[in-house]
């Protein structure tokens, strides 16, 4: 018997496939456009990947998986410079601050002058500014949401008087500041998180804090304008939640529920129910990392 016959030949085991390479191929466009691993992590979460499923790719969480995807993505020799967003961020921010100041100034000026069209001016200004996030995260202009917001504010103003529109106009600036502050704190929290569950646990108190501050400011604006709190505050909160969901909605997925809530607000005394429905959606949606980082094609 030969040596070859004496020694059993064991079949060579094929090396296991590279699951991360397959994932990189599937999300190549996302990985190539990302300027840091956070964008990749948010994009993976938007596609349904969780920390638990990240274990299938031999990683403890989505963030560490995103770091490997970012490191393995081929890039050009020229590093992506962070100066481009920094140059273009200041002028739009100043314009949005001006838009937030404008409604209150217009409405107070029209009311002080005693002009008959103070109510319509307030309606138009509030609908344009309080829910104005520009384009949604999906890159589309939410025209239906703005139209329904204008109808809701106009119908409430018709039923309760111009003081309601004045109160909402005065709440535009606090709404802008609360939304901007919340977005900045949420992104800072995202940068310091190492797991999706960890980020969600820290993001919820930030959102509830911003909502509480805005609700108090809206109540103060209603009291200053002499508007009924039971009518002004729920409608203001509804518009504030609309702003947040449209500006942070992954792939514009929140346009339909926002439109439904605004349509419900057209029913008398239903603004509080509409705001409560959007609040539940906002708590769930804004706790996701993908709501606070640009994702691939979703960049406006």
Whether residue 102 is found in the same domain as residue 62? no
Report the number of distinct structural domains present in the chain. Answer: 2
Whether residue 58 is found in the same domain as residue 103? no
Is 38 inside any structural domain? yes
Whether residue 152 is found in the same domain as residue 284? yes
- Kindly report the pTM of this predicted structure: 0.71
Whether residue 58 is found in the same domain as residue 162? no
Give the pLDDT score at 123.
65
Whether residue 263 is found in the same domain as residue 185? yes
Whether residue 107 is found in the same domain as residue 192? yes
- Between vectors from CA 232 to CA 227 and to CA 234, what angle results, nearest 5°? 160
Largest CA distance in the chain: 113
Output the tens digit of pLDDT for each of the chain's 300 residues: 444 444 444 444 434 567 777 787 787 877 777 777 777 777 777 777 777 777 777 777 777 787 777 788 876 544 444 444 444 444 566 766 766 776 667 777 766 666 666 666 666 666 656 555 454 444 455 678 878 888 888 888 888 887 888 888 888 889 888 988 998 888 888 777 767 777 778 889 999 999 999 999 999 999 998 899 999 999 999 999 988 888 886 556 677 888 899 999 999 889 999 999 999 999 988 887 777 765 443 333
Cα–Cα distance between 126 and 108 in angstroms, integer? Answer: 13
pLDDT tens-place string over residues 101-137: 766 677 777 666 666 666 666 666 666 565 554 544 4
Give me the domain span that covers residue 32: 19-72
Q: Which residues contact 160 (CB under 8 A, 6 or more apart)?
A: 227, 228, 231
Whether residue 205 is found in the same domain as residue 279? yes
Whether residue 50 is found in the same domain as residue 120? no
């Amino acid at each position: 018997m030969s040596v070859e016959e004496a020694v059993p030949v064991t079949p060579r085991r094929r090396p296991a496939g590279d699951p991360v390479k397959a994932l990189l191929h599937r999300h190549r466009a996302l990985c190539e456009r990302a300027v840091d691993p956070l964008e990749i992590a948010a994009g993976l979460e938007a596609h349904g990947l969780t920390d638990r499923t990240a274990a299938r790719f031999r990683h403890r969480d989505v963030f560490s998986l995103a770091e490997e995807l970012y490191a393995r993505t081929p890039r050009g020799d020229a590093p992506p410079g962070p100066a481009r967003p920094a140059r273009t961020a200041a002028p739009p921010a100043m314009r949005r601050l001006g838009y937030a100041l404008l409604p209150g100034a217009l409405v107070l000026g029209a009311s002080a002058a005693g002009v008959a069209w103070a109510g319509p001016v307030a309606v138009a200004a509030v609908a344009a500014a309080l829910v104005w996030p520009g384009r949604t995260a999906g890159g589309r202009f939410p025209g239906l949401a703005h139209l329904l917001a204008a109808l809701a504010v106009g119908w409430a103003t018709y039923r309760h008087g111009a003081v309601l529109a004045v109160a909402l106009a005065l709440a535009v600036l606090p709404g802008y500041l609360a939304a901007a502050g919340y977005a900045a704190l949420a992104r800072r929290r995202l940068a310091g998180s190492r797991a999706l569950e960890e980020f969600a646990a820290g993001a919820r108190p930030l959102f509830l804090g911003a909502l509480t501050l805005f609700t108090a400011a809206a109540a103060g604006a209603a009291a200053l304008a002499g508007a009924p709190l039971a009518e002004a505050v729920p409608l203001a909160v509804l518009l504030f939640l609309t702003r947040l969901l449209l500006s942070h909605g992954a792939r514009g997925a929140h346009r339909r529920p926002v439109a439904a809530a605004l349509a419900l607000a057209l029913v008398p005394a239903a603004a509080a129910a509409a705001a409560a429905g959007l609040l539940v959606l906002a708590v769930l949606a804004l706790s996701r990392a993908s709501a606070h980082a640009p994702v691939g094609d979703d960049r406006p």
